Structure 1
């Protein structure tokens, strides 16, 4: 039974401005595109767009879906503007909690404070008797109270693990844990049960659908008990319900374990590249730099792994015919992995992935250009902490901060994501950030304005680019015959409305395999 989608503007994303009058869909696939007159005789039903605007289904190329669901479950402190406000919000939850409970706050950004300082361990302990962790917005740093530190057996004498930092002042723990050190707590929390994961995942998928997202590339398999546990949650919530298309990256620590499970990819749950973290983030000054931080001259960040370890991980992925996706933010981190990729390339036709690629120069861009590598960017990163990053890096280095235009100009495949729960997984927010490079409501020319891109290029990050980066560009990312019938339908035209209105455009429908999985209940489009 074929359905004809028509009655609105339909962008194919095959080239700038290309539209079609109608799309014929059957059994989840696009059969043909063209005119209503030409396609109507083949249709058994008509799906009217009512003047709305249809695009290929938007995909977030980098997020943590279960982690985003956790943010929806727990205390969101991303808009907190002072330390006192942070403590007051958490105290409300702590005073009613039992000593056995875990209280989790997510999204702390101390650079929004007038005085950008973290609470002390004593201040955290005074809030209550439950276990407490506060995740910084970058998710490369947490604050833990003494109850949570004791759970992980972290004391003043505990050495920092490889690739992480247990922060201490005068030999005393502060409650601040960075990168690998935070997993000593986060990966061991006892409340991570199948029911907990299914609840978080269900909340996340519902929210993502409401933003017009039909899928996401997610990394969740090493944080929630043995990897079969989150995999089972994805099978139950995503695959059985045919509600979302998930491409799962596999953390190097569990990569072989997942391989040995012999889990098969499906239309809704795919298994993708090995994921490796090379460095930290600018927020905690753990992103690996070739020269020290301007505001901390004795610190150049850190590499989580040695070059020899990275080579071993990459060779392991190659052993199983797999690509590698690498978190690399600082210029030293990017340079390091680029050299490893050059030494151990993937199979013909495959692409490795550099995630974030946040600080580049001409030399790095040239090295990326000659490799079979794609770049996974988060346009919103240019918004929240740009001024703080400018202070950390200096004006000259910041010329290469969060590049977009430069990557595209060098012919690289670039996909767009949010890194949710770090940023809001609304692709319209990412599109706005990519086009303007400024925060909502600001009127300047943009942070690093030379890296601004066009609206078409920005939408392509979430459609064509998201498909290309996983080798699915022949079946996803465009509205053409033979492609998957995944559509994102908005009430207004991203390409035509005032740019300041783009973040506020409403989603009318989210369509996966020809089925509407989300529909706005209020008055739509021309109705």
Structure 2
């Protein structure tokens, strides 16, 4: 049974502007591309694109799928514009819950407030009797009320854990926990049951498919109880339905445990690189910098691990024949891990992955280009908090914020992701941000406009780049013979429409292995 896809514009993404008239699909694979006349005799059915535009299936190269599902389940405060508004929204929710329950708000960005200030612990405690945590948009900082702090045994006398900060003023808890400290609460909340995980995962996959995504590279295995719990959820929701393709990074804390499980992979569930957090984030001033923050001169951020620890983790990955993917935001974090990668390189043909790579200069760019390293970028990061980051880093240093063109010009493999739930996992938002480097509705030339890339390069981040970064570019990321029949079909041509209209383009179909897994009901 072979299906001929035709009747619209079909971009192969093999080279700029290349299109084909038709694509023949059988058993989930592309068996041929070419003209309708040459391929139609081999087809048993025709899928008419009705003038829509087909691309290789878009893939989000870095997100937290279950975490994104949690955001869909809980209170989304990403658009809140004042502390009073934040408190009012949470107060309303807390009046309806039992004292033993947990109220969770996700996406706080205090830099959007006229006065960028967190609520005090007293203000959080006054909202109600339930446990409360508020996750900042960067997910490297949370606010917790006294009941949630007590649940984790955190008191005024509790020291900050290695790689984290329990914030205190004059020896008193503020409710702010940064990086490793926040896991003292969030990794142990009693409602994280198999049913909770499955519900979050199912909600996330449905949403991701509606954005035209056929898959994602996710890191979820160390936050929801023993790693077998999220793995079982992925087996039940993703693998069984065969409608989404997940590539799982493995946090270093559970890497050996997963290796001992000897879990089998499939086209819908793969196990990838060891994941290590090198530093924090700019939002909580925990990204590790070579020089102090401009607005906190005694603070250079923090490295989560010592160089010796990083060497041990990387060597462990190498013993298992595995690559390493690192969260590295600050320039010191990037420099530190690149030195470790240089000392302990992966096998021939493999590449390690630097996720975010948010602050660079010329010498770091040269080091990146000299190593078997790919870069996992989140183009939307240039939008949300650029003004706050500029204040923290200063004009000169900020010229190296969120590079894109500099990486591509040096021949590095670059993939595009959202880091959802931190950003909305709509790849069209990322494509727009990569091309314009400005917020929606703005008209300036872009933040660090020298880092803008072309539309073709931007779409390539979510197609070819996402396949290259996991060494799957021989079977994924293009519309060519022998490749998987994963397609994203849009109503409009991203290469021809007004750039300002890209974020509003509608998804017509999301196609996995030749099967339509999402269809825009408005088109029926």
What band does the TM-score fall into relative to the shorter chain? over 0.9
Q: Matched residues in 2 for 1:24 and 1:113: separation?
A: 53
Alpha-carbon distance, 1:144 to partner: 0.1
Q: Matched residues in 2 for 1:260 and 1:131: separation?
A: 36
Q: Matched residues in 1 for 2:48 and 2:100: separation?
A: 53
Whether contact under 8 Å (2:214, 2:511) holds in the other structure is: yes
Q: Matched residues in 2 for 1:132 and 1:505: separation?
A: 37
Which residue of 2 is the match for residue 45 of structure 1? 45
Which residue of 2 is the match for residue 190 of structure 1? 190
Which residue of 2 is the match for residue 409 of structure 1? 409
Alignment map for 1:245-284 (pairs within 5 Å): 245-284=245-284
Alpha-carbon distance, 1:243 to partner: 1.6
Alpha-carbon distance, 1:207 to partner: 0.1
Whether contact under 8 Å (2:437, 2:449) holds in the other structure is: yes
Which residue of 2 is the match for residue 427 of structure 1? 427
Q: Matched residues in 1 for 2:265 and 2:390: separation?
A: 42
Alpha-carbon distance, 1:523 to partner: 3.1
Query: Is residue 113 of structure 1 aligned with residue 131 of structure 2?
Result: no
The C-alpha deviation readout for 1:217-237, integer Å capped at 9, x for no partner, is 000000000000000000000
Q: Matched residues in 2 for 1:53 and 1:234: separation?
A: 31
Q: Matched residues in 2 for 1:261 and 1:142: separation?
A: 32
Alpha-carbon distance, 1:96 to partner: 1.3
SS in 1 for 2:201: helix
Query: Is residue 296 of structure 1 aligned with residue 296 of structure 2?
Result: yes
Whether contact under 8 Å (2:57, 2:213) holds in the other structure is: yes
Which residue of 1 is the match for residue 523 of structure 2? 523
The C-alpha deviation readout for 1:324-365, integer Å capped at 9, x for no partner, is 000000000000000000000000100100000000000000
Q: Matched residues in 1 for 2:8 and 2:227: separation?
A: 43
Alpha-carbon distance, 1:41 to partner: 0.3
Q: Matched residues in 1 for 2:384 and 2:240: separation?
A: 37
Q: Matched residues in 2 for 1:153 and 1:42: separation?
A: 67
Q: Matched residues in 2 for 1:350 and 1:130: separation?
A: 48
The C-alpha deviation readout for 1:79-134, integer Å capped at 9, x for no partner, is 00000000000001101111110000000000000000000000000000000000
SS in 1 for 2:445: coil
Q: Matched residues in 2 for 1:244 and 1:298: separation?
A: 46
Whether contact under 8 Å (2:508, 2:523) holds in the other structure is: no
Which residue of 2 is the match for residue 26 of structure 1? 26
Alpha-carbon distance, 1:280 to partner: 0.2
Q: Matched residues in 1 for 2:495 and 2:519: separation?
A: 22
Backbone CA RMSD of aligned residues: 0.4
TM-score (norm 1): 0.99
Query: Is residue 217 of structure 1 aligned with residue 217 of structure 2?
Result: yes
Alpha-carbon distance, 1:409 to partner: 0.3
Which residue of 2 is the match for residue 319 of structure 1? 319
Which residue of 1 is the match for residue 498 of structure 2? 498
Which residue of 1 is the match for residue 462 of structure 2? 462
Q: Matched residues in 2 for 1:32 and 1:96: separation?
A: 58
Unaligned segments of structure 1, at least 5 residues? none
Which residue of 2 is the match for residue 157 of structure 1? 157
Q: Matched residues in 2 for 1:441 and 1:331: separation?
A: 31
Q: Matched residues in 1 for 2:340 and 2:474: separation?
A: 29
Which residue of 2 is the match for residue 131 of structure 1? 131
Q: Which runs of 4+ in 1 moved over 4 A?
A: none
Alpha-carbon distance, 1:45 to partner: 0.2
Q: Matched residues in 1 for 2:164 and 2:30: separation?
A: 48
Which residue of 1 is the match for residue 452 of structure 2? 452
SS in 1 for 2:60: strand
SS in 2 for 1:400: coil
SS in 2 for 1:429: helix
Which residue of 1 is the match for residue 344 of structure 2? 344
Q: Matched residues in 2 for 1:86 and 1:237: separation?
A: 34
The C-alpha deviation readout for 1:221-269, integer Å capped at 9, x for no partner, is 0000000000000000000001210000000000000001110111100
The count of residues paired between Structure 1 and Structure 2 equals 524
Whether contact under 8 Å (2:131, 2:147) holds in the other structure is: yes
Which residue of 2 is the match for residue 96 of structure 1? 96
Q: Matched residues in 2 for 1:118 and 1:372: separation?
A: 41
Which residue of 2 is the match for residue 360 of structure 1? 360
SS in 1 for 2:438: coil
SS in 2 for 1:183: helix
Unaligned segments of structure 2, at least 5 residues? none
Query: Is residue 380 of structure 1 aligned with residue 380 of structure 2?
Result: yes
Q: Matched residues in 1 for 2:121 and 2:95: separation?
A: 17
Q: Matched residues in 2 for 1:285 and 1:398: separation?
A: 15
The C-alpha deviation readout for 1:279-330, integer Å capped at 9, x for no partner, is 0000000000000000110000000000000000000000000000000000
